[in-house]
Amino acid sequence: MSLLSPRQTAINMALFSAFITGIGIVLSLVFHSENIFYPVVIAGLSVFIVVYIFTVSFLTNFIYKKISPIYKTIQNVSASKKDVIKDFEDKDIIKEVKKDVMLWAKKKSLEITQLKQLEKYRREFLGNVSHELKTPIFNIQGYILTLLDGGLEDKKVNKLYLQRAEKSINRLISIVNDLESISRLESGEMKLELKKINIIKLFEESFEMHEMLAKDHSIKLKFAKKFEKPIPVYADKQRILEAINNLIVNSIKYGKENGTTYVDFLDMGEVLLVDVTDDGIGIAEKDIPRIFERFYRTDKSRSREMGGTGLGLSIVKHIIEAHQQTINVRSNVGEGSSFAFTLKKA
């Protein structure tokens, strides 16, 4: 036990008091030449018991009065007097409280830092949402006003502006749908329908869906090697296909002309590692930690020209994490990027 615990302190004080009392009695009786053994023992024991009880009572009440508010605050509990005293009765009070307070302060400091980061992220997110929505809305407004001001009568202008307005409307719909998907994934409202699927088949479907886009960008979509047998995984087919599509589209949009997107699979025991690699423009090292944030763009002007919502990679991350798996990215500027995620093998 620590020397500063209430119980040990009381024992020390009681022993000291009993010792002093014993010495006093010894000196007193020596001069009277009486038998001093029993009186000294009885007196010393009596003093020991009285001092011990008094000291323990005083210290426990003092500790509860002084330490309890601190203890309850840092532990965030409504502890009773008995619980507080019991927790400290065999410990170094000052040392334990100091340690707990420092841990509590460190925890609160970390929470404040995290809250500041979340607040910064919230402001950035609201600013990004506002900007992403404002652009197509103002475009639509401009096209409609032009048509109302006489452009509607010009057959060459009216059809062109209506087509452009439709394009902006489709962009708005994409942003709203993507935001809704992320919101449902984050809140847990979107339930996954996990079943056994062939991951190779899903990539083949994705290749077919984006064949024209890849051709327009002179990009080849292919597997790293020939896979003779199906590779079954346990996943939600629709959601994983959505994640795959986002990764494939990204590899096409940011790939170099006459480049190639390779898809490879690696058996890692209980999980399968899926790797989508391109040889495009790559991602700067400073941007990699934020690449999965909503609306974060490494090249804002080019990204918007490509027509993306800025939510694709964020959706991919949420889908993979909803499967209780992970996704990572490796990239070098000018050399391409590799997105690798895991799925549970079936």
Residues 58 and 163 in one domain: no
Residues 33 and 85 in one domain: yes
Query: 140 lies in a domain?
Result: yes
The whole-angstrom separation of Cα 314 and Cα 203 is: 20
For residue range 292-336, list pLDDT tens digits in order: 887 776 665 445 555 566 788 888 998 999 899 999 999 988 889
CATH classification at residue 257 = 3.30.565.10
Element (H, E) at 251: helix 237-253
Query: 119 lies in a domain?
Result: no
Residues 272 and 295 in one domain: yes
For residues 212-237, average pLDDT? 91
* Token pair listed for 241: 């296909």
Please tell me the predicted confidence (pLDDT) of residue 1: 43
For residues 24-46, average pLDDT? 59
Contact in structure between 67 and 88 (CB atoms under 8 Å): yes
Residues 87 and 130 in one domain: no
Of 76, 91, 106, which residue constitutes the final position of a domain? 91
Please tell me the predicted confidence (pLDDT) of residue 78: 53
For residues 77-92, average pLDDT? 54
Whether this model's pTM surpasses 0.85:
no
Is the pLDDT assigned to residue 124 strictly greater than 50?
yes
Domain count, the chain: 3
Angle between helices 155-187 and 93-148 (to 10 degrees): 160
Domain range for 234: 194-345
* Token pair listed for 294: 């909503």
Residues 209 and 283 in one domain: yes
The whole-angstrom separation of Cα 289 and Cα 59 is: 53
